[in-house]
Amino acid sequence: MLAGGTGTRIWPLSMAMPKPLVPIKGIPIVRMVMDFFKANNYRKFIFCIGYKGDSIKQYFDSFSHNLDVTYVDSGLNVDILKRIVDCEDSVSDRFFVCYGDVIANVNLPKLLSFHISHKALVTLTTFQMRSPFGLILSDDSGRVNAFNEKPMLLHWMNIGFMVFERKVLELATNMLLEGKMWLDFLNHLISMKKLYSFKHTGLHYTFNTELERQEMENDFDNFYGTLVRGVLNEG
């Protein structure tokens, strides 16, 4: 669980706590991610902490009975790749990597099956992007031929819920020693034809502003109830 960033985009909320602990109806978003995995019968969690990491430790130590919880602190202002590599001694041969501030009802069995069947080294779960603006199509004279209000785009974004093969961490370690970072690592996997995208079409929530956080609260019963019940859809 990647939970070490400073959350600068939601400042000043993140002044008092790390972004994964920012609450939605009183429940930290990272707790919701954990609850989703628990609903899918996962019990081992590794938190990649940094900024205000002690707060995350204190929160989860207070209720994580019957769970196997480990904390790996890579410090502040550390690249994602470094945080993942630092967990090498604690991970299994195949493991999930998730963002601590993104929740989605990803079909985990289908994700794993997809990853294994494609012989991927890393699989990213992706979600289709929607334009935040209304888009127009016009001809050379300026006459508008079509107007689409916040349409779905052709691009898909990485929402986490990644699957890693442990053996890829040797490559990641070597790239870090060469001064390479997360994007370099992904591009290298692309060149190896070993990076795959699992397309998710169900629920997906995150927030980078207080308005987006409030929107999540307004839809709380819908998405959190779905997550905790472990309801899976075709995505």
What is the rounded average pLDDT of the residues 86-107? 94
Residue 121, token pair as written in the block: 């080294």
Give pLDDT tens digits for 154-183: 899 999 999 999 999 999 999 999 999 999
d(CA 99, CA 160): 6
Contact status, residue 35 vs residue 227, Cβ threshold 8 Å = yes
Give pLDDT tens digits for 106-131: 999 999 999 999 999 999 999 998 77
Homologous superfamily of the 2-229 domain (CATH): Spore Coat Polysaccharide Biosynthesis Protein SpsA; Chain A (3.90.550.10)
Question: Which residues are CB-neighbours of 218 under 8 A, at least 6 positions away?
Answer: none
The residue extents of the domains of the chain are 2-229
